[in-house]
Structure 1
Amino acid sequence: MSGKIRFAPSPTGYLHEGHLLSALYVWAAAKKWNLKIHLRIEDHDQSRARPAYIAGIREDLAWLGFKYDSESIQSARGQVYEAALQKLKEKSLVYPCYCSRKQLLAENPQSETGEIVYQGKCFKEVGSRKPEVGSIDTAPHNLRFIVPNKFIDWHDLRLGDFHENPKLQCGDFPILDRDNQWTYQFAVCVDDIDEQITHIVRGEDIRNSTARQIALMEALGRTERPVYLHHPLIVDANNKKLSKRELAHSLRQDKEAGITPEMLFGRVCYKAHLTGNDTPIALVDAISIIMETL
Protein backbone atom coordinates (compact mmCIF):
# COMPACT_ATOMS: atom_id res chain seq x y z
CA MET A 1 0.00 0.00 0.00
CA SER A 2 1.20 3.55 -0.70
CA GLY A 3 -0.24 7.04 -0.66
CA LYS A 4 -0.34 10.07 1.60
CA ILE A 5 -1.62 10.78 5.09
CA ARG A 6 -1.93 14.11 6.88
CA PHE A 7 -1.47 15.51 10.36
CA ALA A 8 -3.61 18.63 10.55
CA PRO A 9 -3.50 20.68 13.76
CA SER A 10 -5.19 24.08 14.10
CA PRO A 11 -2.96 26.92 15.36
CA THR A 12 -5.50 28.20 17.88
CA GLY A 13 -3.35 27.14 20.83
CA TYR A 14 -0.26 25.06 21.57
CA LEU A 15 -0.19 21.31 21.03
CA HIS A 16 -1.38 19.14 23.91
CA GLU A 17 -1.53 15.40 24.71
CA GLY A 18 -4.51 14.87 22.42
CA HIS A 19 -2.49 16.14 19.47
CA LEU A 20 0.43 13.94 20.49
CA LEU A 21 -1.75 10.81 20.51
CA SER A 22 -3.15 11.74 17.09
CA ALA A 23 0.37 12.30 15.74
CA LEU A 24 1.45 8.89 17.03
CA TYR A 25 -1.47 7.28 15.21
CA VAL A 26 -0.70 9.16 11.99
CA TRP A 27 3.00 8.29 12.04
CA ALA A 28 2.21 4.66 12.95
CA ALA A 29 -0.24 4.38 10.04
CA ALA A 30 2.30 5.96 7.70
CA LYS A 31 4.95 3.45 8.71
CA LYS A 32 2.62 0.45 8.51
CA TRP A 33 1.13 1.37 5.15
CA ASN A 34 4.16 3.05 3.54
CA LEU A 35 2.57 6.51 3.32
CA LYS A 36 4.04 9.96 2.83
CA ILE A 37 3.27 12.33 5.73
CA HIS A 38 1.88 15.79 5.06
CA LEU A 39 1.71 18.49 7.73
CA ARG A 40 -1.30 20.71 7.15
CA ILE A 41 -1.68 23.76 9.37
CA GLU A 42 -5.41 24.41 9.46
CA ASP A 43 -5.62 28.14 10.14
CA HIS A 44 -8.96 28.65 8.38
CA ASP A 45 -10.27 30.29 11.58
CA GLN A 46 -8.33 33.54 11.30
CA SER A 47 -10.09 34.98 14.35
CA ARG A 48 -8.30 32.46 16.60
CA ALA A 49 -5.14 31.47 14.71
CA ARG A 50 -1.91 33.08 15.90
CA PRO A 51 1.60 33.17 14.35
CA ALA A 52 3.08 32.00 17.67
CA TYR A 53 0.94 28.87 17.57
CA ILE A 54 1.96 28.15 13.97
CA ALA A 55 5.63 28.39 14.93
CA GLY A 56 4.88 26.32 18.01
CA ILE A 57 3.49 23.44 15.95
CA ARG A 58 6.68 23.18 13.92
CA GLU A 59 8.92 23.59 16.97
CA ASP A 60 7.07 21.01 19.06
CA LEU A 61 7.04 18.41 16.28
CA ALA A 62 10.78 18.88 15.77
CA TRP A 63 11.45 18.57 19.52
CA LEU A 64 9.36 15.38 19.71
CA GLY A 65 11.15 13.86 16.71
CA PHE A 66 8.29 13.77 14.19
CA LYS A 67 9.55 14.18 10.62
CA TYR A 68 7.24 14.78 7.65
CA ASP A 69 7.55 14.96 3.87
CA SER A 70 5.58 18.09 2.95
CA GLU A 71 3.69 21.00 4.46
CA SER A 72 0.89 23.45 3.65
CA ILE A 73 -1.00 26.20 5.44
CA GLN A 74 -4.62 26.95 4.66
CA SER A 75 -4.33 30.75 4.75
CA ALA A 76 -2.11 30.56 1.65
CA ARG A 77 -4.61 28.48 -0.33
CA GLY A 78 -7.38 31.00 -1.01
CA GLN A 79 -7.27 30.53 -4.78
CA VAL A 80 -7.72 26.77 -4.40
CA TYR A 81 -10.82 27.28 -2.24
CA GLU A 82 -12.24 29.89 -4.60
CA ALA A 83 -11.88 27.48 -7.53
CA ALA A 84 -13.65 24.74 -5.57
CA LEU A 85 -16.46 27.10 -4.61
CA GLN A 86 -16.89 28.03 -8.27
CA LYS A 87 -17.36 24.34 -9.13
CA LEU A 88 -20.19 24.10 -6.61
CA LYS A 89 -21.78 27.32 -7.90
CA GLU A 90 -21.71 26.02 -11.46
CA LYS A 91 -23.64 22.96 -10.24
CA SER A 92 -26.09 25.17 -8.28
CA LEU A 93 -25.05 23.43 -5.06
CA VAL A 94 -24.63 26.50 -2.83
CA TYR A 95 -26.96 29.21 -1.58
CA PRO A 96 -26.75 32.15 0.85
CA CYS A 97 -28.16 31.75 4.35
CA TYR A 98 -29.17 34.79 6.38
CA CYS A 99 -30.30 32.97 9.54
CA SER A 100 -28.89 34.27 12.81
CA ARG A 101 -27.59 31.94 15.50
CA LYS A 102 -30.74 32.67 17.48
CA GLN A 103 -32.92 31.71 14.52
CA LEU A 104 -30.95 28.53 13.91
CA LEU A 105 -31.49 27.39 17.48
CA ALA A 106 -35.16 28.34 17.53
CA GLU A 107 -36.24 27.05 14.12
CA ASN A 108 -34.31 23.81 13.63
CA PRO A 109 -34.20 20.47 15.46
CA GLN A 110 -31.04 19.16 17.07
CA SER A 111 -29.45 15.75 16.61
CA GLU A 112 -28.70 13.35 19.46
CA THR A 113 -25.26 14.94 19.73
CA GLY A 114 -26.73 18.44 20.05
CA GLU A 115 -25.90 19.50 16.50
CA ILE A 116 -28.34 21.77 14.66
CA VAL A 117 -30.01 19.99 11.72
CA TYR A 118 -30.65 22.83 9.29
CA GLN A 119 -34.02 22.51 7.55
CA GLY A 120 -33.20 24.63 4.51
CA LYS A 121 -35.22 27.75 5.28
CA CYS A 122 -33.02 30.04 3.18
CA PHE A 123 -32.88 27.60 0.30
CA LYS A 124 -36.66 27.62 0.16
CA GLU A 125 -36.81 31.42 0.40
CA VAL A 126 -33.67 32.45 -1.51
CA GLY A 127 -31.62 29.57 -2.84
CA SER A 128 -34.31 28.10 -5.05
CA ARG A 129 -34.19 31.27 -7.17
CA LYS A 130 -30.76 30.14 -8.44
CA PRO A 131 -28.94 33.48 -8.81
CA GLU A 132 -26.43 33.89 -11.58
CA VAL A 133 -23.16 32.01 -11.21
CA GLY A 134 -20.68 34.11 -9.25
CA SER A 135 -23.19 36.57 -7.85
CA ILE A 136 -23.08 37.15 -4.07
CA ASP A 137 -25.56 39.22 -2.13
CA THR A 138 -23.80 41.95 -0.13
CA ALA A 139 -25.93 41.47 3.02
CA PRO A 140 -24.23 39.46 5.82
CA HIS A 141 -24.69 35.75 5.21
CA ASN A 142 -22.93 32.45 4.96
CA LEU A 143 -22.94 30.07 2.02
CA ARG A 144 -24.38 26.59 2.50
CA PHE A 145 -23.71 23.43 0.53
CA ILE A 146 -26.80 21.54 -0.60
CA VAL A 147 -26.37 18.11 0.96
CA PRO A 148 -27.85 15.25 -1.09
CA ASN A 149 -30.69 13.49 0.70
CA LYS A 150 -29.29 9.97 0.60
CA PHE A 151 -27.58 7.44 2.83
CA ILE A 152 -23.83 7.02 2.48
CA ASP A 153 -22.13 3.73 3.33
CA TRP A 154 -18.55 4.03 4.49
CA HIS A 155 -16.05 1.95 6.45
CA ASP A 156 -13.77 2.79 9.34
CA LEU A 157 -10.78 0.50 9.86
CA ARG A 158 -11.27 0.58 13.64
CA LEU A 159 -14.99 1.19 14.16
CA GLY A 160 -16.48 -0.78 11.28
CA ASP A 161 -19.28 0.05 8.82
CA PHE A 162 -21.55 3.11 8.88
CA HIS A 163 -24.79 3.89 7.05
CA GLU A 164 -25.47 7.62 7.44
CA ASN A 165 -27.49 10.39 5.81
CA PRO A 166 -25.85 13.79 6.43
CA LYS A 167 -29.10 15.49 5.40
CA LEU A 168 -30.51 14.04 8.63
CA GLN A 169 -27.32 14.57 10.67
CA CYS A 170 -26.76 18.26 9.97
CA GLY A 171 -28.69 19.35 6.89
CA ASP A 172 -27.14 21.78 4.41
CA PHE A 173 -23.96 23.03 6.09
CA PRO A 174 -21.92 26.25 5.73
CA ILE A 175 -18.80 26.30 3.59
CA LEU A 176 -18.15 30.05 3.91
CA ASP A 177 -19.15 31.83 7.11
CA ARG A 178 -20.57 35.30 7.77
CA ASP A 179 -17.03 36.65 8.32
CA ASN A 180 -16.01 35.43 4.86
CA GLN A 181 -13.89 32.63 6.33
CA TRP A 182 -13.80 29.13 4.88
CA THR A 183 -15.32 26.60 7.25
CA TYR A 184 -13.55 23.53 8.56
CA GLN A 185 -15.75 21.12 6.61
CA PHE A 186 -15.11 22.86 3.29
CA ALA A 187 -11.40 23.58 3.68
CA VAL A 188 -10.42 20.07 4.74
CA CYS A 189 -12.38 18.47 1.90
CA VAL A 190 -10.79 20.72 -0.70
CA ASP A 191 -7.36 20.14 0.83
CA ASP A 192 -7.78 16.37 0.95
CA ILE A 193 -8.63 16.38 -2.75
CA ASP A 194 -6.01 18.88 -3.90
CA GLU A 195 -3.22 17.42 -1.74
CA GLN A 196 -4.11 13.87 -2.83
CA ILE A 197 -4.64 12.54 0.69
CA THR A 198 -5.42 8.81 0.50
CA HIS A 199 -5.64 7.99 4.23
CA ILE A 200 -7.37 9.99 6.97
CA VAL A 201 -6.46 9.08 10.55
CA ARG A 202 -8.00 11.38 13.16
CA GLY A 203 -9.81 11.40 16.50
CA GLU A 204 -13.19 9.71 16.82
CA ASP A 205 -14.74 13.06 17.81
CA ILE A 206 -14.64 13.92 14.08
CA ARG A 207 -16.28 10.67 12.98
CA ASN A 208 -19.71 12.30 12.56
CA SER A 209 -18.21 14.60 9.91
CA THR A 210 -17.24 11.77 7.59
CA ALA A 211 -20.45 11.20 5.63
CA ARG A 212 -20.95 14.91 4.96
CA GLN A 213 -17.32 15.25 3.87
CA ILE A 214 -17.70 12.31 1.51
CA ALA A 215 -20.79 13.99 0.02
CA LEU A 216 -18.93 17.25 -0.46
CA MET A 217 -15.84 15.60 -1.95
CA GLU A 218 -18.01 13.69 -4.40
CA ALA A 219 -19.74 16.94 -5.39
CA LEU A 220 -16.27 18.38 -6.06
CA GLY A 221 -15.41 15.46 -8.31
CA ARG A 222 -13.51 13.02 -6.12
CA THR A 223 -14.37 9.45 -7.13
CA GLU A 224 -12.05 7.37 -4.92
CA ARG A 225 -12.69 7.73 -1.21
CA PRO A 226 -9.92 8.01 1.38
CA VAL A 227 -9.27 5.17 3.81
CA TYR A 228 -10.62 6.19 7.23
CA LEU A 229 -9.52 5.36 10.77
CA HIS A 230 -10.82 7.26 13.81
CA HIS A 231 -8.72 6.66 16.90
CA PRO A 232 -9.81 6.87 20.57
CA LEU A 233 -9.33 10.09 22.53
CA ILE A 234 -7.57 11.08 25.71
CA VAL A 235 -10.09 12.64 28.09
CA ASP A 236 -9.78 14.83 31.17
CA ALA A 237 -10.99 14.18 34.71
CA ASN A 238 -14.55 15.06 33.62
CA ASN A 239 -14.42 12.55 30.74
CA LYS A 240 -14.24 15.38 28.19
CA LYS A 241 -11.75 15.43 25.33
CA LEU A 242 -8.76 17.73 25.72
CA SER A 243 -9.38 21.12 24.15
CA LYS A 244 -7.38 24.28 23.50
CA ARG A 245 -10.57 26.23 24.17
CA GLU A 246 -10.56 24.74 27.67
CA LEU A 247 -6.86 25.61 28.06
CA ALA A 248 -5.60 22.03 28.04
CA HIS A 249 -2.10 21.67 29.46
CA SER A 250 0.35 22.14 26.56
CA LEU A 251 3.32 20.02 25.57
CA ARG A 252 5.62 23.03 25.72
CA GLN A 253 4.62 23.58 29.34
CA ASP A 254 5.86 20.04 29.96
CA LYS A 255 9.05 20.78 28.03
CA GLU A 256 9.69 23.90 30.12
CA ALA A 257 9.16 21.80 33.25
CA GLY A 258 11.88 19.37 32.19
CA ILE A 259 9.63 16.60 30.86
CA THR A 260 11.33 14.66 28.05
CA PRO A 261 9.66 13.45 24.85
CA GLU A 262 10.12 9.86 26.05
CA MET A 263 8.23 10.66 29.23
CA LEU A 264 5.43 12.20 27.19
CA PHE A 265 5.19 9.18 24.86
CA GLY A 266 4.96 6.86 27.85
CA ARG A 267 2.35 9.00 29.56
CA VAL A 268 0.17 9.41 26.48
CA CYS A 269 0.25 5.72 25.57
CA TYR A 270 -0.74 4.86 29.14
CA LYS A 271 -3.61 7.37 29.17
CA ALA A 272 -4.81 5.94 25.85
CA HIS A 273 -4.80 2.43 27.40
CA LEU A 274 -2.12 1.25 25.00
CA THR A 275 0.30 0.27 27.79
CA GLY A 276 -0.03 -0.83 31.39
CA ASN A 277 2.06 1.95 32.91
CA ASP A 278 3.52 5.35 32.10
CA THR A 279 7.16 4.27 31.89
CA PRO A 280 9.07 6.50 29.42
CA ILE A 281 9.42 4.99 25.95
CA ALA A 282 11.13 6.05 22.73
CA LEU A 283 9.17 7.44 19.78
CA VAL A 284 9.93 4.36 17.66
CA ASP A 285 8.55 2.11 20.38
CA ALA A 286 5.39 4.20 20.82
CA ILE A 287 4.81 4.00 17.08
CA SER A 288 5.37 0.24 17.11
CA ILE A 289 2.83 -0.21 19.92
CA ILE A 290 0.17 1.63 17.93
CA MET A 291 1.06 -0.18 14.69
CA GLU A 292 0.05 -3.42 16.37
CA THR A 293 -3.47 -2.05 16.92
CA LEU A 294 -4.02 -0.96 13.30
Structure 2
Amino acid sequence: MNGRPPPVTRFAPSPNGPLHLGHALSAIVAHDLAQAGGGRFLLRIEDIDGPRSRPDLADEFRRDLEWLGLEWEEVPAQSTRLATYAAAAEALKECGLLYPCTCTRKEIEAAGASEGTDGLIYPGTCKRTGPDPARPAAWRLDTEKALAEVGPLTWEDDLAGTIPVDLGGLGDVVLVRKDLPASYHLAVTLDDAADGVTLVTRGADLFAPSHVHRTLQALFGLPVPRWHHHALLTDDSGQKLAKRRGSPALAERRQAGEDGRMLAEQLRLRHLRLGT
Protein backbone atom coordinates (compact mmCIF):
# COMPACT_ATOMS: atom_id res chain seq x y z
CA MET A 1 0.00 0.00 0.00
CA ASN A 2 2.40 2.63 -1.38
CA GLY A 3 5.18 1.43 0.92
CA ARG A 4 3.15 2.16 4.04
CA PRO A 5 2.89 -0.23 6.98
CA PRO A 6 -0.09 -2.62 6.91
CA PRO A 7 -3.18 -0.54 7.73
CA VAL A 8 -5.37 -0.95 10.78
CA THR A 9 -9.01 -0.07 10.06
CA ARG A 10 -12.16 -0.36 12.14
CA PHE A 11 -15.93 -0.53 12.00
CA ALA A 12 -17.50 1.06 15.08
CA PRO A 13 -21.31 0.78 15.16
CA SER A 14 -23.59 1.96 17.96
CA PRO A 15 -26.07 -0.65 19.20
CA ASN A 16 -29.04 1.73 19.26
CA GLY A 17 -30.67 0.38 16.11
CA PRO A 18 -30.11 -2.36 13.50
CA LEU A 19 -27.47 -2.18 10.81
CA HIS A 20 -28.58 -1.34 7.26
CA LEU A 21 -26.92 -1.38 3.83
CA GLY A 22 -25.03 1.85 4.53
CA HIS A 23 -23.40 0.25 7.55
CA ALA A 24 -22.63 -2.84 5.49
CA LEU A 25 -20.82 -0.74 2.90
CA SER A 26 -18.77 1.04 5.57
CA ALA A 27 -17.79 -2.27 7.14
CA ILE A 28 -16.89 -3.75 3.75
CA VAL A 29 -14.76 -0.74 2.76
CA ALA A 30 -12.84 -0.89 6.04
CA HIS A 31 -12.46 -4.67 5.83
CA ASP A 32 -11.30 -4.68 2.21
CA LEU A 33 -8.80 -1.84 2.61
CA ALA A 34 -7.24 -3.64 5.57
CA GLN A 35 -7.18 -6.95 3.70
CA ALA A 36 -5.69 -5.40 0.55
CA GLY A 37 -2.83 -3.92 2.58
CA GLY A 38 -2.19 -7.03 4.67
CA GLY A 39 -3.48 -5.25 7.75
CA ARG A 40 -6.10 -5.67 10.48
CA PHE A 41 -9.82 -4.95 10.54
CA LEU A 42 -11.24 -4.18 13.98
CA LEU A 43 -14.77 -4.18 15.37
CA ARG A 44 -15.48 -1.75 18.22
CA ILE A 45 -18.94 -1.43 19.75
CA GLU A 46 -19.74 2.20 20.62
CA ASP A 47 -22.13 1.51 23.49
CA ILE A 48 -22.23 4.61 25.68
CA ASP A 49 -25.57 5.93 24.45
CA GLY A 50 -27.26 5.29 27.77
CA PRO A 51 -30.42 3.14 27.76
CA ARG A 52 -30.52 3.26 23.96
CA SER A 53 -27.47 0.93 23.83
CA ARG A 54 -28.67 -2.67 23.62
CA PRO A 55 -26.29 -5.63 24.07
CA ASP A 56 -28.60 -7.82 21.99
CA LEU A 57 -28.08 -5.54 19.00
CA ALA A 58 -24.31 -5.84 19.35
CA ASP A 59 -24.75 -9.61 19.03
CA GLU A 60 -26.86 -9.03 15.91
CA PHE A 61 -24.06 -6.88 14.47
CA ARG A 62 -21.60 -9.74 14.83
CA ARG A 63 -23.98 -12.11 13.08
CA ASP A 64 -24.51 -9.55 10.31
CA LEU A 65 -20.78 -9.16 9.67
CA GLU A 66 -20.27 -12.91 9.64
CA TRP A 67 -23.20 -13.25 7.21
CA LEU A 68 -21.50 -10.72 4.90
CA GLY A 69 -18.37 -12.88 4.92
CA LEU A 70 -16.19 -10.46 6.89
CA GLU A 71 -13.53 -11.42 9.43
CA TRP A 72 -12.46 -9.11 12.24
CA GLU A 73 -10.72 -8.66 15.57
CA GLU A 74 -12.92 -7.26 18.31
CA VAL A 75 -11.51 -4.61 20.65
CA PRO A 76 -12.98 -3.44 23.98
CA ALA A 77 -16.31 -1.61 23.77
CA GLN A 78 -16.60 2.07 24.62
CA SER A 79 -18.35 1.30 27.91
CA THR A 80 -15.04 -0.05 29.22
CA ARG A 81 -13.24 3.23 28.50
CA LEU A 82 -15.19 5.79 30.51
CA ALA A 83 -12.27 6.61 32.82
CA THR A 84 -10.13 7.46 29.78
CA TYR A 85 -12.74 9.91 28.49
CA ALA A 86 -13.12 11.55 31.89
CA ALA A 87 -9.35 11.99 32.30
CA ALA A 88 -9.02 13.51 28.83
CA ALA A 89 -11.84 15.96 29.47
CA GLU A 90 -10.33 17.00 32.80
CA ALA A 91 -6.99 17.62 31.12
CA LEU A 92 -8.65 19.95 28.60
CA LYS A 93 -10.55 21.74 31.37
CA GLU A 94 -7.35 22.31 33.31
CA CYS A 95 -5.83 23.91 30.21
CA GLY A 96 -8.84 26.21 29.85
CA LEU A 97 -9.84 24.64 26.55
CA LEU A 98 -13.35 23.52 27.58
CA TYR A 99 -16.18 25.64 28.90
CA PRO A 100 -19.61 24.62 30.27
CA CYS A 101 -22.71 25.25 28.18
CA THR A 102 -26.33 24.93 29.37
CA CYS A 103 -28.02 26.13 26.18
CA THR A 104 -30.73 24.01 24.59
CA ARG A 105 -31.07 23.54 20.85
CA LYS A 106 -34.08 25.87 20.83
CA GLU A 107 -32.06 28.56 22.61
CA ILE A 108 -29.21 28.14 20.13
CA GLU A 109 -31.64 28.51 17.22
CA ALA A 110 -33.26 31.54 18.87
CA ALA A 111 -29.83 33.17 19.26
CA GLY A 112 -29.54 33.27 15.47
CA ALA A 113 -27.01 30.48 15.07
CA SER A 114 -25.86 30.05 11.49
CA GLU A 115 -25.79 26.75 9.65
CA GLY A 116 -22.34 25.19 9.45
CA THR A 117 -20.82 22.17 7.78
CA ASP A 118 -22.13 19.81 10.47
CA GLY A 119 -25.24 21.48 11.85
CA LEU A 120 -25.75 24.77 13.67
CA ILE A 121 -22.66 26.72 14.70
CA TYR A 122 -22.88 27.49 18.41
CA PRO A 123 -22.92 31.31 18.84
CA GLY A 124 -20.85 31.24 22.04
CA THR A 125 -23.59 32.38 24.40
CA CYS A 126 -22.28 30.62 27.53
CA LYS A 127 -18.69 31.56 26.70
CA ARG A 128 -19.71 35.22 26.81
CA THR A 129 -22.24 35.28 29.66
CA GLY A 130 -21.57 32.07 31.59
CA PRO A 131 -23.82 29.01 31.98
CA ASP A 132 -26.99 28.75 34.05
CA PRO A 133 -25.76 27.09 37.29
CA ALA A 134 -29.20 25.58 37.91
CA ARG A 135 -29.14 23.51 34.72
CA PRO A 136 -27.02 20.54 33.55
CA ALA A 137 -24.09 21.53 31.39
CA ALA A 138 -22.33 20.11 28.40
CA TRP A 139 -18.68 21.03 27.85
CA ARG A 140 -17.62 22.66 24.60
CA LEU A 141 -14.20 22.98 23.02
CA ASP A 142 -13.04 26.58 22.76
CA THR A 143 -11.85 26.20 19.17
CA GLU A 144 -10.14 29.58 19.04
CA LYS A 145 -7.96 28.71 22.03
CA ALA A 146 -7.38 25.18 20.76
CA LEU A 147 -6.10 26.32 17.38
CA ALA A 148 -3.91 28.93 19.04
CA GLU A 149 -2.44 26.10 21.11
CA VAL A 150 -1.66 23.73 18.24
CA GLY A 151 -1.07 26.08 15.32
CA PRO A 152 -1.86 25.30 11.66
CA LEU A 153 -2.70 21.64 11.01
CA THR A 154 -3.50 19.42 8.05
CA TRP A 155 -4.88 15.91 7.61
CA GLU A 156 -4.67 13.43 4.76
CA ASP A 157 -7.64 11.85 3.04
CA ASP A 158 -7.03 9.05 0.53
CA LEU A 159 -9.57 10.56 -1.85
CA ALA A 160 -9.46 14.31 -1.16
CA GLY A 161 -5.72 14.73 -0.53
CA THR A 162 -4.20 17.14 2.00
CA ILE A 163 -6.83 19.11 3.93
CA PRO A 164 -5.99 22.16 6.09
CA VAL A 165 -7.79 22.08 9.43
CA ASP A 166 -10.63 24.61 9.46
CA LEU A 167 -13.02 24.70 12.40
CA GLY A 168 -14.87 27.75 11.17
CA GLY A 169 -17.77 25.72 9.84
CA LEU A 170 -18.12 23.75 13.06
CA GLY A 171 -17.72 26.22 15.90
CA ASP A 172 -17.26 25.23 19.53
CA VAL A 173 -18.32 21.59 19.38
CA VAL A 174 -19.49 19.59 22.40
CA LEU A 175 -16.90 17.16 23.77
CA VAL A 176 -18.76 16.10 26.94
CA ARG A 177 -22.51 15.82 26.58
CA LYS A 178 -25.05 16.65 29.26
CA ASP A 179 -26.32 13.08 29.28
CA LEU A 180 -23.21 11.09 28.28
CA PRO A 181 -19.58 10.91 29.46
CA ALA A 182 -18.21 11.91 26.07
CA SER A 183 -19.38 13.11 22.67
CA TYR A 184 -18.63 11.22 19.48
CA HIS A 185 -15.72 13.58 18.78
CA LEU A 186 -13.85 12.91 22.00
CA ALA A 187 -14.58 9.19 22.28
CA VAL A 188 -13.74 8.22 18.71
CA THR A 189 -10.47 10.18 18.71
CA LEU A 190 -9.25 8.55 21.91
CA ASP A 191 -10.50 5.10 20.91
CA ASP A 192 -8.85 5.12 17.49
CA ALA A 193 -5.53 6.05 19.05
CA ALA A 194 -5.86 3.40 21.77
CA ASP A 195 -6.72 0.73 19.20
CA GLY A 196 -3.85 1.65 16.88
CA VAL A 197 -6.11 2.60 13.98
CA THR A 198 -4.00 4.00 11.13
CA LEU A 199 -6.70 4.39 8.45
CA VAL A 200 -10.05 5.85 9.51
CA THR A 201 -12.72 4.80 7.03
CA ARG A 202 -16.22 6.25 7.16
CA GLY A 203 -18.90 7.88 5.05
CA ALA A 204 -18.50 11.27 3.42
CA ASP A 205 -21.14 12.68 5.79
CA LEU A 206 -18.47 12.56 8.52
CA PHE A 207 -15.87 14.50 6.54
CA ALA A 208 -16.32 17.76 8.48
CA PRO A 209 -15.85 16.23 11.97
CA SER A 210 -12.39 15.05 10.94
CA HIS A 211 -11.22 18.65 11.39
CA VAL A 212 -12.16 18.37 15.07
CA HIS A 213 -10.56 14.96 15.46
CA ARG A 214 -7.28 16.13 13.92
CA THR A 215 -7.27 19.08 16.35
CA LEU A 216 -7.85 16.78 19.32
CA GLN A 217 -5.03 14.49 18.18
CA ALA A 218 -2.70 17.48 18.22
CA LEU A 219 -3.89 18.63 21.66
CA PHE A 220 -3.38 15.17 23.19
CA GLY A 221 -0.20 14.34 21.26
CA LEU A 222 -1.82 11.29 19.64
CA PRO A 223 -0.68 9.46 16.49
CA VAL A 224 -2.26 10.82 13.31
CA PRO A 225 -3.98 8.32 11.01
CA ARG A 226 -5.02 8.76 7.40
CA TRP A 227 -8.68 9.08 6.48
CA HIS A 228 -10.81 7.57 3.74
CA HIS A 229 -14.28 9.12 3.40
CA HIS A 230 -16.27 7.02 0.96
CA ALA A 231 -19.41 8.01 -0.92
CA LEU A 232 -22.74 7.20 0.70
CA LEU A 233 -25.45 4.82 -0.38
CA THR A 234 -28.76 6.62 -0.88
CA ASP A 235 -32.39 5.59 -1.09
CA ASP A 236 -34.74 6.23 -4.01
CA SER A 237 -35.31 9.80 -2.85
CA GLY A 238 -31.58 10.53 -2.81
CA GLN A 239 -31.31 10.60 1.00
CA LYS A 240 -28.59 8.68 2.78
CA LEU A 241 -29.65 5.46 4.44
CA ALA A 242 -30.32 5.91 8.16
CA LYS A 243 -31.75 4.02 11.13
CA ARG A 244 -34.18 6.82 11.90
CA ARG A 245 -35.68 6.62 8.39
CA GLY A 246 -36.32 2.91 8.73
CA SER A 247 -33.77 1.75 6.17
CA PRO A 248 -34.11 -2.05 5.72
CA ALA A 249 -32.17 -3.92 8.41
CA LEU A 250 -29.44 -6.38 7.53
CA ALA A 251 -30.79 -8.73 10.20
CA GLU A 252 -34.17 -8.89 8.42
CA ARG A 253 -32.51 -9.79 5.14
CA ARG A 254 -30.29 -12.34 6.87
CA GLN A 255 -33.22 -13.95 8.66
CA ALA A 256 -35.19 -14.08 5.40
CA GLY A 257 -32.49 -16.31 3.93
CA GLU A 258 -30.79 -13.82 1.61
CA ASP A 259 -27.21 -14.65 0.60
CA GLY A 260 -25.03 -12.24 2.60
CA ARG A 261 -21.85 -12.87 0.64
CA MET A 262 -23.65 -12.17 -2.62
CA LEU A 263 -25.05 -8.96 -1.14
CA ALA A 264 -21.52 -7.96 -0.09
CA GLU A 265 -20.29 -8.47 -3.65
CA GLN A 266 -23.15 -6.34 -4.98
CA LEU A 267 -22.21 -3.58 -2.55
CA ARG A 268 -18.57 -3.79 -3.66
CA LEU A 269 -19.63 -3.34 -7.28
CA ARG A 270 -21.90 -0.44 -6.33
CA HIS A 271 -19.01 1.12 -4.44
CA LEU A 272 -16.81 0.85 -7.52
CA ARG A 273 -19.47 2.61 -9.60
CA LEU A 274 -19.54 5.42 -7.03
CA GLY A 275 -15.82 5.84 -7.74
CA THR A 276 -14.63 5.62 -4.12
TM, length-normalised to structure 1: 0.83
Kept after mapping to 2: 8 A contact 1:177/1:183: yes
Counting only pairs closer than 5 Å after superposition, residues 12-51 of structure 1 correspond to structure 2 as 12-51=16-55
Match of 1:56 among 48, 57, 60: 60
Kept after mapping to 1: 8 A contact 2:103/2:126: yes
CA–CA separation in structure 2 for the residues paired with 1:60 and 1:49: 17
Q: Which amino acid aligns with 1:226?
A: P
CA–CA separation in structure 2 for the residues paired with 1:77 and 1:220: 16
Q: Does 1:96 align with 2:100?
A: yes
Q: Which amino acid aligns with 2:190?
A: V
Counting only pairs closer than 5 Å after superposition, residues 93-172 of structure 1 correspond to structure 2 as 93-111=97-115, 113=117, 115-126=119-130, 139-147=135-143, 148-149=146-147, 152-166=153-167, 168-172=168-172
Kept after mapping to 1: 8 A contact 2:17/2:57: yes
Q: How far 1:114 moved relative to its partner?
A: 6.5
CA–CA separation in structure 2 for the residues paired with 1:89 and 1:69: 34
* Structure 2 unmatched runs, 5+: none
- 1:202-221 per-residue CA deviation (whole Å, 9 max, x = no partner) reads 11110011111111221122
Counting only pairs closer than 5 Å after superposition, residues 166-205 of structure 1 correspond to structure 2 as 166=167, 168-205=168-205
Q: Which amino acid aligns with 1:33?
A: G
Kept after mapping to 1: 8 A contact 2:68/2:264: no
Q: Does 1:229 align with 2:228?
A: yes
Match of 2:254 in 1: 255
- 1:226-247 per-residue CA deviation (whole Å, 9 max, x = no partner) reads 1111111110011111101111
Kept after mapping to 2: 8 A contact 1:146/1:172: yes
CA–CA separation in structure 1 for the residues paired with 2:69 and 2:52: 27
- 1:119-143 per-residue CA deviation (whole Å, 9 max, x = no partner) reads 322122238xxxxxxxxx6731111
Q: Which moved more, 1:143-152 or 1:93-102?
A: 143-152
Q: Which amino acid aligns with 2:142?
A: I
Q: How far 1:63 moved relative to its partner?
A: 2.4
Match of 1:278 in 2: none
CA–CA separation in structure 2 for the residues paired with 1:6 and 1:138: 40
Q: Which moved more, 1:199-208 or 1:32-41?
A: 32-41
Paired residues, number: 266
- 1:84-114 per-residue CA deviation (whole Å, 9 max, x = no partner) reads 1122122121111011211111214323546
Q: Which amino acid aligns with 1:246?
A: R
Match of 1:69 among 64, 70, 73: 73
Q: Which moved more, 1:199-208 or 1:179-188?
A: 179-188
RMSD, matched Cα: 2.2
CA–CA separation in structure 2 for the residues paired with 1:8 and 1:258: 26
Percent identity of paired positions between Structure 1 and Structure 2: 32
Q: How far 1:80 moved relative to its partner?
A: 1.3
CA–CA separation in structure 2 for the residues paired with 1:16 and 1:191: 24
Q: Which moved more, 1:105-114 or 1:25-34?
A: 105-114
In structure 2, the residue corresponding to 1:272 is in which secondary structure? helix
CA–CA separation in structure 2 for the residues paired with 1:36 and 1:13: 26
In structure 2, the residue corresponding to 1:245 is in which secondary structure? helix
Kept after mapping to 2: 8 A contact 1:44/1:187: no
Q: How far 1:12 moved relative to its partner?
A: 1.5
